[in-house]
Amino acid sequence: MIISTVEGLTKIAQGVRADGKTIGLVPTMGALHEGHLSLIRRARAENDVVFVSIFVNPVQFNNKEDLVKYPRTLENDVKLIGEYADFIFAPTVEEVFPTPPTEEYDFGQVANVMEGAARPGHFNGVGVIVGRLFSWVNPHKSYFGEKDYQQIAVIRELVRIGNHSTEIVPCPIVREPNGLAMSSRNRRLTPEEFETAAQIHQILLKSTEIKGDVPEIKAFVESEIAKVPAFTLDYFEMADDTTLQTVHSFSEAKGVMGFITVYIGAVRLIDNIRYR
Ligand code: PAF
Model confidence over 34-52: pLDDT tens digits?
A: 999 999 999 999 999 999 9
In angstroms, what is the span from residue 216 Cα to ligand 1's centroid?
33
Banded pLDDT at 122 (limits 50, 70, 90): very high
In a domain, 176, yes or no: no
Please give the positions annotated as active site: 36
16 lies in the same domain as 71: yes
For the chain, give the percent of residues with pLDDT over 70: 100
Could you read off the pLDDT of 185-236 as tens digits, one per residue? Answer: 999 999 999 999 999 999 999 999 999 999 999 999 999 999 999 999 999 9
Mean pLDDT of 83-106: 98
112, 138, 171: which is the final residue of a domain?
A: 171
Could you read off the pLDDT of 129-171 as tens digits, one per residue? Answer: 999 999 999 999 999 999 999 999 999 999 999 999 999 999 9
Inter-residue contact 253 to 240 (CB < 8 Å): yes
Beta partners for 99?
A: none
Q: What is the pLDDT of residue 219?
A: 98
Q: What is the pLDDT of residue 205?
A: 98
143, 171, 199: which is the final residue of a domain?
A: 171
149, 171, 193: which is the final residue of a domain?
A: 171
- Residue 163 region by backbone torsions, left for phi larger than 0, else alpha for psi between -120 and 50, else beta: left
In angstroms, what is the span from residue 194 Cα to ligand 1's centroid?
22
Nearest CA to ligand 1 atom 2: 28
Ligand 1 nearest atom to the CA of residue 126, by list position: 9
In angstroms, what is the span from residue 251 Cα to ligand 1's centroid?
33
Query: Could you list the residue range(s) of the whole structural domain that residue 253 is in?
Result: 184-274
Q: Cα-atom radius of gyration of the chain, to the nearest Å?
A: 19
Ligand 1 nearest atom to the CA of residue 28, by list position: 8
For the chain, give the percent of residues with pLDDT over 90: 99
Q: What is the pLDDT of residue 40?
A: 98
Nearest CA to ligand 1 atom 8: 28
Q: How far apart are CA 5 and CA 23, in angstroms?
A: 18
Cα–Cα distances in angstroms (integers) from residue 30 to residues 47, 86, 159, 271, in the given order: 21, 16, 23, 19
122 lies in the same domain as 38: yes
Nearest CA to ligand 1 atom 1: 28
Q: What is the pLDDT of residue 156?
A: 98
